[in-house]
Amino acid sequence: MSAPRVIVGVSGGVDSSVAALRLVQEREAVAGLFMQNWADDGSGDCRAEDDRRDAVAVCGKLGIPFHFRDFSAEYWEGVFAHFLAEYAAGRTPNPDVLCNREVKFKHFLDAARDLGAEKIATGHYARIAHDRGAAKLLRAVDRNKDQSYFLHQLGQEQLSATLFPVGELQKSDLRTIAREAGLPTHAKKDSTGICFIGERDFREFLGRYLPAKTGEMRDPAGHKIGEHPGVFYFTLGQREGLQIGGVRGRAAAPWYVVGKDVANNVLYVDQDTASPYLHSTTLWSERAHWVQGGPPAGHFECTAQTRYRQADVPCSVDVVDDGSLKVHFQDPERAVTPGQSVVLYRGDECLGGAVIARTDAPLEQQLAEQAA
C-alpha cells in the first residue's frame, strides 16, 4: 500500500471526522492518526479511550487506515509543566496555544512525515491562503467557531504543510454533512474547557499539583473581605467560586477578582463588574511570534483579541527592540490577563501574537511599584 499524502488528526470529535470525510471525497490518499496527549491519571475523568474508539469507528466508516501515537510525555514537558509554572506564578496560561505549537503542529507533523505523508489536516476552524509563496492564516468562515486565536503561534513551515478542511463551513452545516454521511460522531457533544481537565472540578484538579495556601481577600483599599484557598485558583474578572457571603456595610452585590498579589498571597476583589481596577488601556507582552516571520512594521494599527471569542478591538502596536510588544487600545479593555495571549489581526488575517506580560490596570501598577 502506498503512503498516504495526508494524515488527518482524528480526535474522535465531529469536526475532525468531517475533515477526514472531505479529504476522502476529494479522493486524497488519506489516513487518520489519533494523538493521546494526556496519560490516564486514574481519576476516571479522562475520556481519551472513548475518543479513540470513536476515531477508530470514523476511520472504519471512511475506509482509511488508522494510526495511534502517544504524545503524553511530550505534552507534559512542552505544555503541562509550563501550565503549572504559570499558575504558580499567579498568571493564567492558555494550554491550547502551546498544545498546537508544541504537539499538534510539531510532533504530529513529524509523525505524519515519518509515515510518508506530505501534509497534515485537522478539524480546526481556520483557513490558509497562499500569496506569492507565503502562507497566510485566516479566520474561519464561521466566526463564532473560529480558532485562529489558538493557532497564532504557527509559522510558514507548519502552515505550508497543513490543511483545514472545515474552515469554510458553518458548524450547523458540518453536523448535517456528518449525519448524512452516517459518521458515528455526528451528534457527539463538542468538548469544552481544558482538554486534560475534562468535566472534573478545576480547583480539585489543580490542587493535586499546587497545594492550597489560604490567604486574605481584600478590597482595593486593603480592607479584608474574606479568605481564599489559593490565589492561583482565580483569574481576573472571575465571579464564580469566591464564596463571599454578606459583608457588613457592603451592598448585596456580586464580587469580582480584580487583582492578585502572589508574593503576599492576597486576592483583591471588588463589587463592580465595571470596576476601574479591571480596566487597562495598554499591555506589554513577551516576545511576539509572527505568522509571516516578522512584524508588518515597527509601529502599526490593527485589531486585537486578548481572549478567545472576544470581539476585535482597535489598537496600535509598537514592536520593542527585544521583540516584545506594547499594545495600546483605543478604549479601556476589561480583564486583560497576564499569561493569556494578545492576538493581532488585519481583517480576516491573523498576523501573530504574544503572551501578555503586564498591563497598566491601576491595581497591577500599584502592586508592581510596591514590589520594585
Integer Cα distance of 344 and 176 in angstroms: 33
Which helix (H) or strand (E) is 150 found in, with range? none
* 194 part of a folded domain: no
45 has a pLDDT exceeding 60: no
The answer to whether residues 325 and 225 belong to one domain is: no
Residue 279: its pLDDT value, please? 96
Residue 196: its pLDDT value, please? 60
Any idea of the CA torsion for 158, 159, 164, 165, to the nearest 10 degrees?
Answer: -110
The answer to whether residues 265 and 283 belong to one domain is: no
* 233 part of a folded domain: yes
* 67 part of a folded domain: yes
The answer to whether residues 146 and 74 belong to one domain is: yes
Cell numbers of 33, please? Answer: 492518526
Integer Cα distance of 198 and 211 in angstroms: 20
DSSP reduced 3-state for 235: coil
Integer Cα distance of 307 and 149 in angstroms: 8
For residue 318, the domain's CATH number is 2.40.30.10
The answer to whether residues 103 and 39 belong to one domain is: yes
Ranges 91-95, 143-147, 150-154: which has the least confidence: 91-95
149 has a pLDDT exceeding 90: yes
Q: Is 59 a catalytic residue?
A: no
pLDDT band of residue 40 (cuts 50, 70, 90) is low
For residue 105, the domain's CATH number is 3.40.50.620
Residue 91: its pLDDT value, please? 92
261 has a pLDDT exceeding 60: yes
Which helix (H) or strand (E) is 170 found in, with range? none
The answer to whether residues 246 and 289 belong to one domain is: no
Query: What is the spatial order of strands in the sheet that 6-9 belongs to?
Result: 66-70, 30-36, 6-9, 119-121, 162-163
Residue 41: its pLDDT value, please? 55
184 has a pLDDT exceeding 60: yes
Cell numbers of 310, please? Answer: 472576544
Q: Which residue range forms the structural domain that includes residue 337?
A: 277-371
pLDDT in tens, 87-141: 988 899 998 999 999 999 999 999 999 999 999 999 999 999 999 889 999 999 9
Q: Which of 46, 59, 195, 350 is catalytic?
A: 195
Residue 246: its pLDDT value, please? 76
Integer Cα distance of 83 and 98 in angstroms: 9
Q: Which residue, 254, 270, 286, sits at the end of a domain?
A: 270
Q: Which of 59, 99, 315, 350 is catalytic?
A: 99
For residue 237, the domain's CATH number is 2.30.30.280
The answer to whether residues 238 and 296 belong to one domain is: no
The answer to whether residues 246 and 322 belong to one domain is: no
The answer to whether residues 48 and 91 belong to one domain is: yes
* 199 part of a folded domain: no
Query: Percentage of residues in the chain with pLDDT exceeding 70?
Result: 95
pLDDT band of residue 369 (cuts 50, 70, 90) is confident
The answer to whether residues 79 and 97 belong to one domain is: yes
Residue 355: its pLDDT value, please? 98
* 110 part of a folded domain: yes
Q: How many residues does the chain have?
A: 372
190 has a pLDDT exceeding 90: no
The answer to whether residues 151 and 118 belong to one domain is: yes
206 has a pLDDT exceeding 90: no
Q: Which residue, 180, 198, 233, sits at the end of a domain?
A: 180
Q: Counting Cβ atoms within 10 Å, is residue 199 exposed (0-12), middle (13-18) or buried (19+)?
A: exposed
Residue 210: its pLDDT value, please? 86
7 has a pLDDT exceeding 70: yes
The answer to whether residues 219 and 289 belong to one domain is: no
* 193 part of a folded domain: no
pLDDT band of residue 195 (cuts 50, 70, 90) is low
* 207 part of a folded domain: no
The answer to whether residues 59 and 132 belong to one domain is: yes
Q: Is 350 a catalytic residue?
A: no
Note if the pTM is more than 0.95.
no
46 has a pLDDT exceeding 70: no
Residue 192: its pLDDT value, please? 62
Amino acid identity, residue 366?
Q
Residues 6+ apart with CB under 8 A from 209: 84
Q: How many domains does the chain have?
A: 3
Contacts 24+ apart (CB under 8 A), 107-111: 107/69, 107/71, 107/74, 108/7, 108/9, 108/33, 108/35, 108/69, 108/71, 109/158, 109/161, 109/162, 111/7, 111/33, 111/67, 111/69
**For the residues 195-218, what does the mean pLDDT come to?**
79
pLDDT band of residue 153 (cuts 50, 70, 90) is very high
44 has a pLDDT exceeding 80: no
As a whole number, the mean pLDDT across the chain is 92
* 363 part of a folded domain: yes
372 has a pLDDT exceeding 70: no
Q: Which residue, 162, 180, 198, sits at the end of a domain?
A: 180
Query: Percentage of residues in the chain with pLDDT exceeding 90?
Result: 73
pLDDT in tens, 309-368: 899 999 999 999 999 999 999 999 999 999 999 999 999 999 999 999 999 999 999 888
List Cα–Cα distances, 371 to 88, 267, 272, 284, 334, in angstroms: 17, 16, 26, 18, 24
pLDDT band of residue 43 (cuts 50, 70, 90) is low
Beta-strand runs (E) in the chain:
6-9, 30-36, 66-70, 119-121, 126-131, 134-139, 162-163, 215-218, 224-228, 256-261, 266-270, 279-285, 289-290, 299-305, 313-319, 325-334, 341-346, 349-359
